[in-house]
Structure 1
Amino acid sequence: MKVSIITPVYNAERFLRETAESVINQTYQDWEWILVNDCSTDDSWSIMQELADKDNRIKIFSNSENLKSGKTRNFAIKQAIGRYIAFLDADDKWHVDKLAIQIPFMMQNDYYFSHTSYGYLDELGNKIKSTLHVSKEVDYQHLLKRTEISCLTAVYDAEKIGKFYMSEHARKQDYALWLSILKSGVKSYGIDKELAYYRQVKNSATSSKHKLILKHIDFLKDTQGFGTIKAMYYTGYWMINGFIRYFIK
């Protein structure tokens, strides 16, 4: 069964070839990789052309204006022809057996949505922190309290549940997408194996913790229709779980 891999690309020249290697070397080979250049100002587009020239499963597009990651992913999802929709950002990596483990797991159990545990890398590719382990089963209420589904691990079955798209919200578009799927009654099933690697890139514009809390409350109000009290309730759980994750490594 074909997997459509969705990747927005913005100024990713430092990591894109390494990310590509983790896709091309997958032991599960029935995939298409849809990369969309979001007006990069570095050499990303040239690298994308180079990759597409070498492998006809790699399909490349370029936005005429900078649309940010959510809208860029949505464009890619519209182009996808695979039964399964998977996500991988241009600076992250997959374990060589990720799809070979995750797709049969879904097919054999008739699961429509799944995610895996994942590790962390620094900008040089060194392993940092400890593995983020996932639960066996996640529903809507669970994900509101613990945001354990990461974009680089998520796969959903578009043939069974249709295509779901990213939110138009300014941030956390992927989280809003997972919530939309779970809110429809579908559960996500976790594979507690480290099958993906999230790269932490330094960002001088990172918000203060106080601002992050307020933004999370606003996110829940805007995307889930929660009142202030309900949004604060779930943000409290989000804060506690984040605190535990930060100090237990």
Structure 2
Amino acid sequence: MPTYKCGRFIEESIKSVQTQTYQNWELIVVDDCSGDGTVDKVLNIEKADDRISIYQNSSNSGAAVTRNTALRNAKGRWIAFLDSDDLWEPTKLEKQIKFMEENEYAFSYHEYVEIDEQDNLLGVHVSGKKHVGKFDMYACCWPGCLSVMYDASKIGLIQINDIKKNNDTAMWLKVIRKADCYLLPECLGKYRRRANSITPKPLWKRIWAHYPLFRVAEEMNPIAATFWVIMNVFGNAYKKMRYVKTYQPS
């Protein structure tokens, strides 16, 4: 759980881990110099639950460096991710581990819905392809970060180059080289939409943010990086058209 200025939400996010039906977990929180009381809140929770550990960056370093720190300190076989404003459903870990063990998968993701800053459903349900191969993942980021799980005993330690955006996708591009990704067709998480998200708002900025993903994180030449940026335009449009459903929240 990387965190930066999420003091308003992090206690609820941690609670969604603590209330899992699968209880053999460790939670590694890495704070990127929040300065908003986030660390104090986590420390108070940590005192009562020794499965939780918090680390602090010495300077504001960005999400990629922060995720790398968390992964280096992880001890478990099954690696899962939860940003400090998102939520897991109580059966997420139990169901996803069972899904992977029964099918001998090393990499998986699941469906999720979107909520606002007040926990209200936004009427958006995100699914994806049942089987995601290497080409699929390069052409489109299919998993939401809160939905991913991989088997570290088969994948090994993942570390990514320092990019400011799409650093979660950079991780999936490392993992997909070693194992295909499979969808667990159940909604097991809630992704929070926030007004001050670092995700660029104009469409052209969201598209251009993919260039460092391929040029820096994947160390591609400019032509190859540009090619995959263009592929992502089509890939993400296809995902949104076919796998992102809107509904009227009850």
- Normalised to the residue count of structure 1, the TM-score between the two structures is 0.90
Please tell me the residue identity of whatever aligns with 2:238: N
Give 3-state SS (helix, strand or coil) of 2:147's partner: coil
Whole-angstrom distance in 1 between the partners of 2:230 and 2:50: 48
Q: Specify which of 58, 69, 77 is matched with residue 71 of structure 2.
A: 77
Q: CA, structure 1 residues 142+44, in 2 after alignment: closer, same or farther (shift >3 Å)?
A: same
| C-alpha displacement of 1:16 | 1.0
Does 2:116 match 1:122? yes
Whole-angstrom distance in 2 between the partners of 1:246 and 1:141: 18
Structure 2 equivalent of residue 196 of structure 1: 189
Q: Specify which of 226, 229, 232 is matched with residue 235 of structure 1.
A: 232
Whole-angstrom distance in 1 between the partners of 2:37 and 2:230: 44
| C-alpha displacement of 1:220 | 2.8
Where structure 1 has 5 or more consecutive residues not aligned to the other structure, the ranges are 1-6
- Greater shift in the superposed pair: 195-204 or 237-246: 237-246
Whole-angstrom distance in 2 between the partners of 1:222 and 1:75: 19
Q: Specify which of 161, 171, 178 is matched with residue 167 of structure 1.
A: 161
Whole-angstrom distance in 2 between the partners of 1:221 and 1:53: 42
Structure 2 equivalent of residue 244 of structure 1: 241
Whole-angstrom distance in 2 between the partners of 1:32 and 1:137: 28
Give 3-state SS (helix, strand or coil) of 1:73's partner: helix
Q: How does 1:200-239 map to 2 (within 5 A)?
A: 200-203=193-196, 206-224=200-218, 225=220, 227=223, 230-239=227-236
Please tell me the residue identity of whatever aligns with 1:165: Q
Equivalent pair of 1:135/1:192 in contact (CA under 8 Å)? no
Q: How does 1:39-118 map to 2 (within 5 A)?
A: 39-118=33-112
Give 3-state SS (helix, strand or coil) of 2:125's partner: strand
Equivalent pair of 2:108/2:182 in contact (CA under 8 Å)? yes
Q: CA, structure 1 residues 63+32, in 2 after alignment: closer, same or farther (shift >3 Å)?
A: same
- Normalised to the residue count of structure 2, the TM-score between the two structures is 0.89
Whole-angstrom distance in 2 between the partners of 1:15 and 1:40: 13
Where structure 2 has 5 or more consecutive residues not aligned to the other structure, the ranges are none
Does 2:172 match 1:178? yes
